[in-house]
A and B are shown apart, each in its own frame.
Chain A
Amino acid sequence: MEKENCESLLASLSDYVDGVAQEELCREIERHLAECENCRVVVDTLKKTISLYHAVSETALPAEVRERLFMRLNLEDFLHL
């Protein structure tokens, strides 16, 4: 494991997990991941972290919160449209 490679991976990590890293860089990263277990774990758990937040991001607006919002904005006429 070469420390330098781990450091440079860290810098391009977001681009890599978002799939916007340049092809050449991707290949370099994947070569490094194949031989560096620690970095592989960091990449996998980072991807998982982001996907878990995607999975729980569904928050509905409670009906009573919407109702109070419309009242506050004097939009009660449009509440049931």
Chain B
Amino acid sequence: MTETNTNQALSLQALQAGDRAEFAHMVDLYSTQIYRLALKMLGDPQEAEDVLQTTFLKAWQSIGSFEGRSSLSTWLYRIAVNEALMSVRRQKPTVPVVLEYESDEDEVERPAQLTDWCCLPEEELLSAEAKRHLDLAITRLPERLRVVFLLRDVEGLSIKETAEALNLTETAVKTRLLRARLNLREQLSAYYGERLKEEQS
């Protein structure tokens, strides 16, 4: 990651003094990653764009109170995650969010799909259809797992940074990450298992 370099390139002092050129610089440095997170979180370009805009509007309004306890990038992720979660709630206000209260101490579900699909050719693993399926699988994860997986495995944050962005303990992040990964593995195994059968028939 280029976190250190990009941080050095930005002047927090200028940002906090209301320097608009510096803010534009910050927007260009971080808007791609914030948009990607929102898009994968919500699965909808319009909703993702709204979250992107609101995230930077809020960042502009509250940069004065940013204390630098986390990196700017983690701070922006935190704002974006909150906005995205609010957007999810607006999308499906009637769906009970039972999974939100599931305990992190619950046992991890044992893997059920045991097909080895690793040998499928790259063009099959990364076909346009497969990519759509990869995105779909993410949107099927419960939000609490989805957001952890996106920050850690798609955005490449460390366990510690993910914990900071989500206000969770590192232990909770690790548990949710394992569940998210195993859940996606099950979903992908079902999908690629079918491709494998087609290939072999």
List A residues at the B interface (Cβ < 8 Å): 6-7, 10-11, 13-14, 17, 38, 41-42, 44-46, 48-50, 52-57, 59-61, 65-66, 68-70, 72-75, 77-78, 81
Q: Which 7 A-B pairs have the closest CB atoms?
A: A78-B24, A59-B36, A61-B32, A41-B116, A49-B185, A14-B178, A57-B154
Contact (A68, B134) CB under 8 Å given A50-B153, A61-B35: no
Which B39-74 residues sit within 8 Å CB-CB of chain A? 39-40, 49, 52-53, 56-57, 60
Dominant SS among interface residues on chain A? helix
B116 engages A10 (CB within 8 Å): no
Q: How far is the CA of A43 from the CA of B44 in the complex (A)?
A: 32
What number of A-B contacts does a CB cutoff of 8 Å give? 107
| Cβ contact of B31, chosen from A7, A10, A61, A81, cutoff 8 A | A61
Interface pick from B84-92, B107-115, B161-169: B107-115
Chain B residues at the A interface, C-beta cutoff of 8 Å: 20-21, 23-24, 27-28, 31-32, 35-36, 39-40, 49, 52-53, 56-57, 60, 108, 110-111, 113-118, 125-126, 131, 134, 149, 153-155, 174, 177-178, 181-182, 184-185, 188-189
